[in-house]
Chain A
């Protein structure tokens, strides 16, 4: 198969990497090299893909790669659960690997949550005291956001551990009852089921809701401190500030409402004649 973007080379390379990955797994040896990233595919196809397809293509490749990674670990765990001669330590090792994969899955599920940098510590002295204080407030807000982010990430980590435990349980039950998943897709679907169950159990809890709200509040406080600094600079340069624009919008809205009321009164007067 050929294509207008001439991507067959990339296709061959990627498929070769996949064969290497799976060949290594089946031999029980760590892969000599990770599979090539999906992005080169996109780089090769990028110009040929319609605008409306690019996001979907990127997600398909990203999650396709993740799918193969996760199922690779789960398949090994399944083998460990089934093999009578496999030591318990092997199963534990496979499950630890799975936990790492789950953690990665959660990171993909919450892509906007990136950890902020460390806050600074500035003394508030001299004529620039107010600016220093503003910078201090910004630093404190950043620190609080970092703490909230860490707390929420820790909570998601517990969810991922719970998900792996559920998966281990289901794999063990399936192996014992001779109902083990018989395909990678079946293993993957089981992983998704376990993940959603563990996540739902946590997401409905007050602890989750509060941690999420704390994170949002910390992020908003940080944003607010940034806005204040921008407003100060705009005012200093005699540029319109957000507060001033808001005042204008409110005044326009008040005028529009009053105008409509008058139009309705006028219409009623016309009708009553």
Chain B
């Protein structure tokens, strides 16, 4: 019996080695992978930032433009990674007018940018540029992850410019018990970090994210890669994801100091003590409809961190959408198409009375 098991193990090991070898051939034959699939044009630019407007792919639905505010961490092409995995494309196919903020790669000249610069400066000017381009008074703001937190701040401070607010995998309560990042952040001397490094390197953030689940994220997924080496399509998908995961911009130092200090350590957004540009961010000032999309298996932004929003906003029209997956799967898993569907349906149900509602 043991002899038979050993033979099977030997065969399995040999087959594994052969798959790795074939994998190299497949990788060599694949060529460079490309990310970002939908046509777009730049409609506004400032410093490192570019605001894009996507080309329509269906008859206009007649709704206010959707402005996607992505996180400063990682690159925004995750929302338009490839044709069959694109939040943007799905929204375009529903007739929505989609804009996206690309924050770019901050460098040393950006180290003193503050959260106020991002929210009341860049984001506000992108909202204005979107309103001008679409000839609308208000936008539908869609904030993703950290971009969702900034969108909440923005909507609280500029409610007159936001028709509807959608937050995706957005942290609101930064100190829920299962939030490992928050536990580590509480002991981090962020002042020493920023004072010493200026901008915070993207590689440092990547290492931190991988350290949340080191066995799965640094070992198991590459071992599992051997299972798909014969499928160029799946391998291409893997490579695109891999490119996105390690394409991490440095973080403007002062904004990072404030985000970690004020939000992770002091939980100011939840407590109503956050101030930007001399004005208090009061989530009760958000009276437009709010859709809160969260992922039930999210290890970066646990559901509890997002769901805290429900009791804080002033709107009477608050909805949630639970995606059965993780922080990344919400864009690229097989079930991901249900997310843009839910967003488009929700927005359509809240269509305003006219072109300048």
Contacts and interface: CB of A to CB of B under 8 A. Distances in A.
Interface of A: 1, 3-5, 7, 11, 14-15, 18-19, 21-23, 26, 41, 45, 48-53, 55-57, 59-64, 66-68, 71, 75, 79, 82-83, 105-106, 108-110, 112, 182-185, 188-189, 191-192, 195-196, 199-200, 203-204, 206, 209-210, 212-213, 216-217, 220-221, 223-224, 227, 242, 245-246, 249-250, 253, 260
Contacts of A221: 192
B186 to A, nearest CB: 7
A188 B221 CA distance: 12
B10 A108 contact: no
Contacts of B59: none
A60 B226 contact: yes
Nearest to A4: B28
Given A184-B13, A200-B180, A223-B196, 19 more contacts: A3-B25, A22-B10, A26-B10, A52-B239, A60-B225, A61-B20, A62-B222, A105-B219, A110-B207, A196-B216, A204-B180, A209-B183, A209-B184, A210-B187, A212-B184, A220-B197, A223-B197, A224-B195, A242-B198
B188 A216 contact: yes
Contacts of A108: 218-219
Interface residues of B, number: 64
Interface of B: 2, 5-10, 12-14, 16-18, 20-25, 27-28, 30-33, 108-109, 111-113, 121, 180, 183-184, 186-189, 192-193, 195-198, 207, 210-216, 218-220, 222-223, 225-226, 238-239, 242-243, 246
A52 B112 CA distance: 33
A15 B21 contact: yes
The A interface, classified by DSSP as helix, strand, loop or mixed, is helix
Contacts of B12: 183-185
A220 B188 CA distance: 11
Nearest to B189: A217
A64 B20 contact: yes
A68 B18 contact: no
A192 B10 contact: no
B17 A184 contact: no
Contact of B215 (A26, A48, A62, A195): A195
Contacts of B207: 110, 112
Contact of B112 (A213, A242, A249): A249
Given A185-B12, A224-B196, A63 B24 contact: no
Nearest to A248: B109
B187 A183 contact: no
Nearest to B20: A64
Contact of B21 (A14, A67, A79, A199): A14
A250 B112 contact: yes
A220 B24 contact: no
A1 B25 contact: yes
Contact of A220 (B18, B33, B193): B193
A106 B214 CA distance: 8
Given A1-B22, A60-B222, A109-B218, A213 B183 contact: no
A213 B189 contact: yes
Nearest to A217: B189
A56 B239 contact: yes
Contacts of B9: 22, 26, 75, 183-184
A185 to B, nearest CB: 7
Given A3-B25, A60-B222, A64-B226, A79 B2 contact: yes
Contacts of B239: 52-53, 56
A110 B211 contact: yes
Given A45-B28, A64-B226, A183-B12, A11 B21 contact: yes
Greatest chain A CB density within 10 A among B6, B25, B111, B197 is at B25
Nearest to A193: B215
Contacts of B180: 200, 203-204
29 contacts: A4-B28, A21-B13, A22-B10, A22-B13, A50-B33, A51-B32, A52-B32, A53-B30, A53-B239, A56-B238, A57-B23, A60-B20, A60-B225, A63-B218, A63-B223, A64-B17, A67-B219, A67-B223, A108-B219, A109-B214, A184-B13, A184-B16, A191-B215, A195-B215, A204-B180, A220-B196, A246-B111, A246-B112, A260-B121
Nearest to B277: A257
Contacts of B108: 245, 249
A55 B242 contact: yes
A204 B214 CA distance: 14
A197 B9 CA distance: 26
B226 A56 contact: no
B16 A59 contact: no
B243 to A, nearest CB: 6
Nearest to B242: A56
Nearest to A45: B24
A63 to B, nearest CB: 4
A168 B9 CA distance: 19
Contacts of A60: 20, 23, 222, 225-226
Nearest to B34: A52
A53 B219 contact: no
